[in-house]
Structure 1
Amino acid sequence: MTSLFDSIENFINLIIVPLNWVMLFLIIGGGIYLTIISRANPLMKISQGFNLLLKKDNSSVGISRFQALSAVLAATVGLGNISGVSIAIHQGGPGVLVWMWVTALIGATIKFFSCSLAVSLRDKDKEGNYLGGPMYYMTLGIKKWGKPLAIWFSVAGLVGVLPAFTANQLTQSYIDVLDPNSFLNIGDGNWKLLIGVLFTILTSFVIFGGLKSIVKVTSGLVPIMVVLYFLLGIFILISNASVVPSTFALIFSEAFNFNTMVQGGFWGLVLIGIRRAVFSSESGVGLAPIYHGQSTSKKGTDEGLVGMLGPILDTILVCTITGLIIIISGAYLESDLNGIVLSLEAFRRLFFGFGDYILIIMISVFGISTLFTYSYYGVKCYGFLTTPEKGKYYNIIYIGAIIISSILTVEIVIGLIDVAFALMAIPNMIAIIYLSKVVTKEMRERSWI
């Protein structure tokens, strides 16, 4: 089994390098282009985005803006931030945080454009429900080659939204913190399999209930957990306030260290930051517009302002808190700690020796919410490739993948997600850049630019 995992990991490492450079060009280059043509106006309207978040539209079709953002944050805040940041620092050191911040700011503008398009260019199914997301703004906005791009995106999406990372890291966290073998010694492998089965059963109860069921759960759980995590993180940082300035100094000095030992040197460090920020906020990947495309918003740019809050909250806020705690704890200096294990150890060290137990409760809620959210993405991708009515059959594949993902190595899981996200980002960024004129036209009509 080990040799099989090694072969898979080597293959993934072979193809991820060229994909990374394409993704770097499209997301960073494309994001800068979108920032220029929008005159960075969306970034100046963050407060307006928060106001719109709580404003209700009178519509019997779709979900509220708050529910859409909550569902998106359920997929990004949590293991994508808490475990993803650990992996980033493990691979690239403290300086990787700077490049995550840069990517997040650029990503916020990308989110504005993509979520605006998701509302401006969307369709309806036979029952009158909205059909939104990259697949639909590609086919409706790009007449000639929009369909091939949409198929490309949807096929990659079937893999990219599998619960590989979440199931893997959740399972590993329980093994490391709770040590179930001390109660019943059946081996880590069997415990991982058992935990995977339990998650499968729990997830099934919600995801087969459809969109309304998912957003009802996530809109209730996620805001509470985000606030609690923020308060816990702030308490830890205040308790260690004396070393916070030197920690920031270390982060910035390492970010521009051209003699770094990171594989690939300085640009290798930058790529790690971009990859992890993309995974953290999903900016440019095209997943968030699938939920935002179901919103009751009448104007695309209104939904765009709400959508861009995602990278601000999950990467700029949550990732920064997580990263500072990991660096201050010094746990990142231990080479055998990676992923969620590193985060758990950092919290244990800085919160009276039992911070890992508190964190595992939080990531359990975050992780399970993520399992609920990602299933819907897959349903919409599969529904586009077949028919919207058949999309629900993807859930069968999805719940089976939870069990398989629980026993894979973290290296394979990360590599698989990176490849799939890159393959999704390429057609999505091409479409966003091509269709950006749709968004800028609405911005001019509203005298924003």
Structure 2
Amino acid sequence: MIITKNVSIDELIKAFSNYAWGLPLVILLIGGGLYLLVLSRFLPFRFLGHAIQVLRGKYDDPDDPGQISHFKALTTALSSTIGMGNIAGVAVAISVGGPGAMFWMWVSAVVGMSTKFFTSTLAVMYRGKDSRGELQGGPMYFIMEGLGKSWKPLAIMFSLFGMIGALPVVNVNQLTQAINDIVLTPNGVEVGLKSNFILAIILVVLTSVIILGGLKRISNAASKMVPSMVLLYFGLVLFILISNYELVPKYFIMIFTDAFAAKNYSGAPFFGGVLGALILLGIRRGAFSNEAGIGTAPMAHGAAKTDEPIREGLVAMLGPAIDTLVVCTLTALAILVTGVWETTTDNGVSLTASAFSHAMPGYGKYLLMVCVLIFSVSSLFSYAYYGTKCMSFIIGADKKHYYNYIYIISIILAATTPFSVMLNLIDGVFALMAIPTMLATLILAPKVIKEARKYFKRL
């Protein structure tokens, strides 16, 4: 009886996710992003150098409104995006779609750079005040401040789904899987509900210490952890690629050729075709990885210390470039050159672990384990901040701490539930968060262009 129930819940969540990720959402995310790119005359790419200067603190002013620096805003946003989307998400994309899936993840990232520029500029342009009178940014605030009170249902829709989307279920699930596959099982420890529950309790304690300390503690932890974990991960993946350097060109070219041939796609067709399904898979995994258009990052960027919205938009657009164009590509190539995508049935983080074990026998998987641990834990902090912001918008800032308790309970649930259920749940909810975020952004886009013209004239 229990098995039937589990299967039906799994199927139900899968159906919900597939329905949410239909053609209308792909048009809204990719079509909307392309429209923003053309409207801005490719502005994100023209001012890449200036964005890096802003990030380095050249224009920082401690007296500007906001709570955290440009750098801390980007690292807080990146600590939620650089993580399981890059390690598990890429592995899922390749195990289902083959090398070509990576190409469509790139497309989603390039388009996502313009989307992030617009959404994060709006998060600073239309900051609102919470019930305590503190300045806040994010889609729910720019919907209310930019479009007016009559649009409040859209802001509430974002916040409600944001509370679910911010739950750390995929991160925790994959961290548990990694600890089981890499550490416990090889050392003869029996894994099951009991061991997963113990891991969940340890994570609960660790997370509680940071998230109950608020945004300052979250951004401080993220700004210290994110750069170091990215460098470690980079170093390890580059070692794999250098060890297999003769295969790198072959698979790099294959990413392009397979993107249109879809020869390695093994999932269900979309509108009767495998190419459409491969494009959808790449865009879905890209959105899960860099979260462009979903609306999470504008909540972190909206808290940045600046009175120049365009500056924060420029910093934010670096996110998808770092996240998908660099980190995801390295992961994809590591999985491809080691051949594990063809020789194993592993999925998610286990597939990436197989690639590391293949290239660095004995110790590779343990080094990946360190990265996974830091990626996951830093993501836990950022998502808790996003969820409390969504809850405070709906029921008031004085009650937002209740979200932390829901969040902590979800860690236990995620550690003891199958990966596919958790991934489909977050996929589906992300799709529903993207609808209010993108609609409001497309309507308010001309105001961002106007602001950009004024900013660059002053500069």
- Normalising by structure 2, report the TM-score: 0.94
Q: CA RMSD in A?
A: 1.6
Q: Which residue of 1 aligns with 2:250?
A: 246
SS in 2 for 1:256: helix
User: Following TM superposition, by how much is the alpha carbon of 1:83 offset from its aligned partner in structure 2, in angstroms?
Assistant: 1.0
Q: Which residue of 2 aligns with 1:398?
A: 407
Q: Which residue of 2 aligns with 1:13?
A: 14
Q: Would you say the 8 A contact 2:130–2:396 is kept in 1?
A: no
Hey, what's the Cα distance between the residues in 2 that align with 1:257 and 1:183?
Answer: 43
Amino acid at match of 2:75: S
SS in 2 for 1:191: helix
Residue 111 (structure 1) aligned with residue 116 (structure 2): yes
Q: Would you say the 8 A contact 2:97–2:262 is kept in 1?
A: no
Residue 416 (structure 1) aligned with residue 425 (structure 2): yes
Q: Which residue of 2 aligns with 1:86?
A: 91
Distance 1:261 1:410, change over 3 A: closer
Distance 1:332 1:180, change over 3 A: closer
User: Following TM superposition, by how much is the alpha carbon of 1:19 offset from its aligned partner in structure 2, in angstroms?
Assistant: 1.8
Q: Would you say the 8 A contact 1:35–1:106 is kept in 2?
A: yes
User: Following TM superposition, by how much is the alpha carbon of 1:286 offset from its aligned partner in structure 2, in angstroms?
Assistant: 0.1
Q: Which residue of 2 aligns with 1:221?
A: 225
Amino acid at match of 2:427: D
SS in 2 for 1:89: helix
Amino acid at match of 2:94: I
Q: Which residue of 2 aligns with 1:120?
A: 125
Q: 2:158 aligns with which of 140, 153, 161?
A: 153
Hey, what's the Cα distance between the residues in 2 that align with 1:233 and 1:307?
Answer: 25
Q: Would you say the 8 A contact 2:244–2:338 is kept in 1?
A: no
Q: Which residue of 1 aligns with 2:25?
A: 23
In percent, how many aligned pairs have the same letter? 41
Q: Which residue of 1 aligns with 2:275?
A: 266
Structure 1 residues 13-65: Cα deviation after superposition (integer angstroms, max 9, x where no partner) = 22333321222011001001000100001122122111101212222741001
Q: Which residue of 2 aligns with 1:336?
A: 345
Q: Which residue of 2 aligns with 1:439?
A: 448
Q: Which residue of 1 aligns with 2:47?
A: 45
SS in 2 for 1:446: helix
Q: Which residue of 2 aligns with 1:191?
A: 195
Distance 1:180 1:59, change over 3 A: farther
Structure 1 residues 394-421: Cα deviation after superposition (integer angstroms, max 9, x where no partner) = 0000001001100111110110011000
Amino acid at match of 1:34: L
User: Following TM superposition, by how much is the alpha carbon of 1:336 offset from its aligned partner in structure 2, in angstroms?
Assistant: 2.3
SS in 2 for 1:87: helix
* Greater Cα offset, 48-57 or 323-332: 48-57
Q: 2:105 aligns with which of 68, 93, 100?
A: 100
Amino acid at match of 1:191: S
User: Following TM superposition, by how much is the alpha carbon of 1:3 offset from its aligned partner in structure 2, in angstroms?
Assistant: 2.6
Q: Which residue of 1 aligns with 2:239?
A: 235
Q: Which residue of 2 aligns with 1:134?
A: 139
Hey, what's the Cα distance between the residues in 2 that align with 1:58 and 1:261?
Answer: 53
Q: 1:304 aligns with which of 305, 313, 334?
A: 313
User: Following TM superposition, by how much is the alpha carbon of 1:127 offset from its aligned partner in structure 2, in angstroms?
Assistant: 5.6
* Greater Cα offset, 337-346 or 173-182: 173-182
Amino acid at match of 2:11: N
* Greater Cα offset, 13-22 or 160-169: 13-22
